[in-house]
A and B are shown apart, each in its own frame.
Chain A
Amino acid sequence: MPKKYTETELGQELQNKEYEYGFYTDIESDKFAIGLDESVVKAISKKKNEPQWMTDWRLEAFRIWKKMEEPDWANVSYEKPDFQGISYYSAPKKKPELASLDEVDPELLKTFEKLGISLDEQKRLTGVAMDIVVDSVSVATTFKKTLEEKGIIFCPISEAIEKHPDLVKKYIGSVVPRTDNFYAALNSAVFSDGSFCYIPKGIKCPVELSTYFRINEGGTGQFERTLLIADEGAYVSYLEGCTAPQRDENQLHAAVVEIIVHDDAEIKYSTVQNWYPGDSEGKGGVYNFVTKRAIAYTNAKISWTQVETGSAVTWKYPSCILKGDNSIGEFYSIAVTNMHQQADTGTKMIHLGNNTKSTIISKGVSAGKSQNSYRGLVKVVKNAKNARNFSQCDSLLMGNECGAHTFPYIEAHNTSAQIEHEATTSKIGEDQLFYCNQRGIDTEKAIALIVNGFSKEVLNKLPMEFAVEAQKLLELSLENSVG
């Protein structure tokens, strides 16, 4: 019987947020010493009250990781992190509580305003003590009820390990195995928390989980682990991330996202990544090394949409394993790099089933002294008949000091495969800018207009209200990019 949730209870829970952080602060005082060995992995698992099987799973991951070497094939250069110089357990920090928005950095507020983030949300994001807002409380309550009624599980992964061990055991590491790569192995050993979502057979999740997130999401950890499962015939649209700028003292972020789409099911996964990119000299930004992969069974559909504007170094390839016949994989991406940012991102479409289809639309915008690479693999195995792929990679350059690169890999082992690849590179020209200026549009706004036009096909794939924010985010990311 699902637990009833009254508005008062929810209100209390929201107010208790600080309390929760307070609890963590105590732990933080005995924050783990830096470095990583088996005892640290065990201790993380213990802190989270995990069952033995989870501890063992983490330990195995750690043993695998120890034997691996850090990869270096991406088109990025950065100072390698010192893995023994990191503390692997630090719970969310207690943010200093502020009495009002007046105490918040005015620069940050200006950014929020430009993004069109509501006052309440601004308060939440900056840690201003919040009055309970009737609106969002009732919205959250309605969501929670709706989800429970449908049997949808949506909770932190640590809670899922405790309450739904069979599901977690069955699926974790099934798409991204611990042996997959260096960062996935590391994440498997030390993941802090993340989200878990299960949509039962035949259920269409009636709300965008994005909206839910916008109200409930707390701080994201350094090693996040996300597991999404749509059972047969189920549907969900899920959005992770935030357009608001996120500063973090953790330099290395290595998340893992696994998605399982059963027969006739569909998952739409959208993400907006806006980690701190570093200062104008390129110092202090976040490294974002993420493994995201989905498996699609018969007649299933997975679509990834990503807007990447943050991080000093981004290294990720949300991928689709099209295992079942007639399964469909889609990848829509906008990656914007400015200043000294580097991005090496793209996708892998692995066609295993017959009549599988994949679409890749990648838009890269490079400004400043940044480097922006698309890297994508389309693979059709020998037994996969009638596989089809369409890839389109467009690059837009601003100025003379940035770079755009495209690395498409195609491996077709079945002669019935149809693979199309199109690529274009263009530059925001003086002519375009002058044309806009002549019509009264200043250069900054003109760039925003041109970039939004360029990115339109991908922006259109985002959930409506988020598309508007993402559009503004693109404008912000490119501010001052032309002298």
Chain B
Amino acid sequence: MLQIKNLHANIDDKEILKGINLEVKAGEVHAIMGPNGSGKTTLSSVIAGREDYIVTEGSITLGDENLLDMKPEERSHKGVFMSFQYPVAIPGVTVTNFIKTAINAKRKSEGKEDIPAAELLKMIREKAKLLGLKSSFLSRSLNDGFSGGEKKRNEIFQMAMLAPKLAILDETDSGLDIDALKTVAEGVNKLKSKDNAVIVITHYQRLLDYIVPDYVHVLSDGKIIKTGGKELALELEAKGYEWI
């Protein structure tokens, strides 16, 4: 599904990614772990298409399409979703209105009409329930005054609504207490299928207790230096990153 080959990327003329190779197949969960400054957030930003990052070499393809040729919104329409570490607030725009706008933007790109209100409502109810979100939550301004847990649950709620092919969860566990972490992880697990894939970017192992990865990659200084199964995460937890 996702193929990254020899990816090099800069920000402000500084090379952060120094030749990443990664293949993610449908139905798989990959974890990317690594110390601060290893390039984890850069990698997710580059996949999502953030403009501040300049790709100098390599390729990223989703299916048979070249993601690097696309704007961020086009990548989103093709099924790339990124759960932000720090979701921004948009005051005055409700959770419902925002997700409606996002869904309709995607539908428009597919040449479809706006989603019928009844259908949207049904879907919102279903997915909100999955994430334990009350209906009053849906009328609040997006991420405005949300707690850490609310922000992350809202991210996964949007993921559920948009049903992406590839979901990248960027430090989704940061700022979450254990209950919130469980809710979020359960949500992700229920959304998992043989047709989609998840990349979990995390500093700590604890999220991986709940979202169990098929592969764990260790990122260091812009390169993947080790790949293993889920037991690698436990090993990293016990020994730190130094031993590799």
Contact residues of A with B, CB < 8 Å?
A: 429-432, 434-442, 445, 449-450, 452-457
B82 at the interface (CB under 8 A from A): yes
Whether the pair A440, B102 counts as a contact (CB closer than 8 A) is yes
Shortest Cβ gap from A304 to chain B (Å)? 21
User: What are 21 of the A-B contact pairs (CB < 8 Å)?
Assistant: A430-B52, A434-B51, A435-B87, A435-B90, A437-B72, A437-B76, A438-B73, A439-B102, A439-B105, A439-B158, A439-B162, A440-B77, A440-B109, A441-B73, A441-B102, A445-B101, A449-B90, A449-B98, A452-B92, A453-B141, A457-B92
Restricting to B52-74, which residues have a CB under 8 Å from any CB of A? 52, 71-73
Closest residue on chain A to residue B102 by CB atoms: A439
- Residues on A with C-beta less than 8 A from B81 are 438
Given contacts A431-B88, A435-B87, contact A449 B50 (CB under 8 A): no
B191 at the interface (CB under 8 A from A): no
Distance A449 CA – B91 CA, assembled complex (angstroms): 10
Whether the pair B48, A438 counts as a contact (CB closer than 8 A) is yes
Distance A439 CA – B88 CA, assembled complex (angstroms): 12
- Residues on B with C-beta less than 8 A from A457 are 92
Shortest Cβ gap from A481 to chain B (Å)? 17
- Residues on B with C-beta less than 8 A from A445 are 101, 105
Closest residue on chain A to residue B84 by CB atoms: A435
Given contacts A434-B72, A449-B93, A450-B93, contact A440 B88 (CB under 8 A): no
Whether the pair A442, B73 counts as a contact (CB closer than 8 A) is yes
B213 at the interface (CB under 8 A from A): no
Q: Please give 14 more A-B residue pairs, beta carbons under 8 A apart, in addition to A432-B90, A440-B109, A442-B71.
A: A430-B52, A431-B88, A434-B72, A435-B87, A437-B49, A437-B73, A439-B105, A440-B102, A440-B162, A441-B105, A445-B101, A449-B98, A452-B93, A453-B92
Whether the pair B91, A453 counts as a contact (CB closer than 8 A) is yes
Restricting to B199-231, which residues have a CB under 8 Å from any CB of A? none
Distance A450 CA – B100 CA, assembled complex (angstroms): 14
Closest residue on chain B to residue A459 by CB atoms: B92
- Residues on A with C-beta less than 8 A from B87 are 435
- Residues on A with C-beta less than 8 A from B106 are 440
Closest residue on chain B to residue A455 by CB atoms: B92
Shortest Cβ gap from A359 to chain B (Å)? 18
Whether the pair A442, B105 counts as a contact (CB closer than 8 A) is yes
Distance A223 CA – B92 CA, assembled complex (angstroms): 37
- Residues on A with C-beta less than 8 A from B77 are 440
Whether the pair B158, A454 counts as a contact (CB closer than 8 A) is no
Given contacts A434-B50, A437-B73, A439-B162, contact A450 B109 (CB under 8 A): no
Distance A440 CA – B79 CA, assembled complex (angstroms): 9
- Residues on A with C-beta less than 8 A from B50 are 434
Total number of B residues with any Cβ neighbor in A under 8 Å: 29
Whether the pair B90, A453 counts as a contact (CB closer than 8 A) is yes
* B48, B49, B73 pick with most chain A CB within 10 angstroms: B73
Closest residue on chain A to residue B168 by CB atoms: A438
Closest residue on chain A to residue B45 by CB atoms: A434
- Residues on B with C-beta less than 8 A from A429 are 88
* A436, A445, A455 pick with most chain B CB within 10 angstroms: A436
Distance A445 CA – B71 CA, assembled complex (angstroms): 14
Q: Which 4 pairs from chain A and chain B are nearest by CB?
A: A453-B92, A453-B93, A440-B76, A437-B72
Given contacts A439-B102, A440-B76, A442-B73, contact A450 B90 (CB under 8 A): yes
Restricting to B85-118, which residues have a CB under 8 Å from any CB of A? 87-88, 90-93, 97-98, 101-102, 105-106, 109
Shortest Cβ gap from A95 to chain B (Å)? 36
Closest residue on chain A to residue B105 by CB atoms: A440
- Residues on B with C-beta less than 8 A from A437 are 49, 71-73, 76
- Residues on A with C-beta less than 8 A from B98 are 439, 449
Whether the pair B73, A440 counts as a contact (CB closer than 8 A) is yes
Distance A436 CA – B97 CA, assembled complex (angstroms): 12
Whether the pair A454, B92 counts as a contact (CB closer than 8 A) is yes
Shortest Cβ gap from A435 to chain B (Å)? 5
- Residues on B with C-beta less than 8 A from A431 are 88
Distance A442 CA – B48 CA, assembled complex (angstroms): 14
Closest residue on chain B to residue A394 by CB atoms: B91
Whether the pair A438, B105 counts as a contact (CB closer than 8 A) is no
- Residues on B with C-beta less than 8 A from A432 are 88, 90
* B91, B141, B162 pick with most chain A CB within 10 angstroms: B91
- Residues on A with C-beta less than 8 A from B92 are 452-457
- Residues on B with C-beta less than 8 A from A453 are 90-93, 141
Closest residue on chain B to residue A457 by CB atoms: B92
Whether the pair B101, A441 counts as a contact (CB closer than 8 A) is yes
Whether the pair A438, B76 counts as a contact (CB closer than 8 A) is yes
Shortest Cβ gap from A453 to chain B (Å)? 3
Distance A124 CA – B207 CA, assembled complex (angstroms): 63
Closest residue on chain B to residue A439 by CB atoms: B102
Whether the pair A435, B109 counts as a contact (CB closer than 8 A) is no
Shortest Cβ gap from A181 to chain B (Å)? 35
- Residues on B with C-beta less than 8 A from A452 are 92-93
Distance A449 CA – B98 CA, assembled complex (angstroms): 8
Distance A455 CA – B101 CA, assembled complex (angstroms): 17
- Residues on A with C-beta less than 8 A from B105 are 439-442, 445
Shortest Cβ gap from A425 to chain B (Å)? 13
Whether the pair B73, A449 counts as a contact (CB closer than 8 A) is no
Given contacts A432-B88, A432-B90, contact A449 B72 (CB under 8 A): no
Distance A182 CA – B93 CA, assembled complex (angstroms): 42
Shortest Cβ gap from B87 to chain A (Å)? 7
- Residues on A with C-beta less than 8 A from B91 are 453-454
Whether the pair B93, A438 counts as a contact (CB closer than 8 A) is no
- Residues on B with C-beta less than 8 A from A456 are 92
Shortest Cβ gap from A394 to chain B (Å)? 9
- Residues on A with C-beta less than 8 A from B82 are 438
Distance A436 CA – B87 CA, assembled complex (angstroms): 10
Shortest Cβ gap from B218 to chain A (Å)? 26
Shortest Cβ gap from A451 to chain B (Å)? 9
- Residues on A with C-beta less than 8 A from B76 are 437-440
Distance A75 CA – B93 CA, assembled complex (angstroms): 32
Distance A439 CA – B76 CA, assembled complex (angstroms): 6
Distance A452 CA – B100 CA, assembled complex (angstroms): 15
Distance A434 CA – B109 CA, assembled complex (angstroms): 18
Distance A431 CA – B141 CA, assembled complex (angstroms): 17
Shortest Cβ gap from B107 to chain A (Å)? 9
Shortest Cβ gap from A392 to chain B (Å)? 13
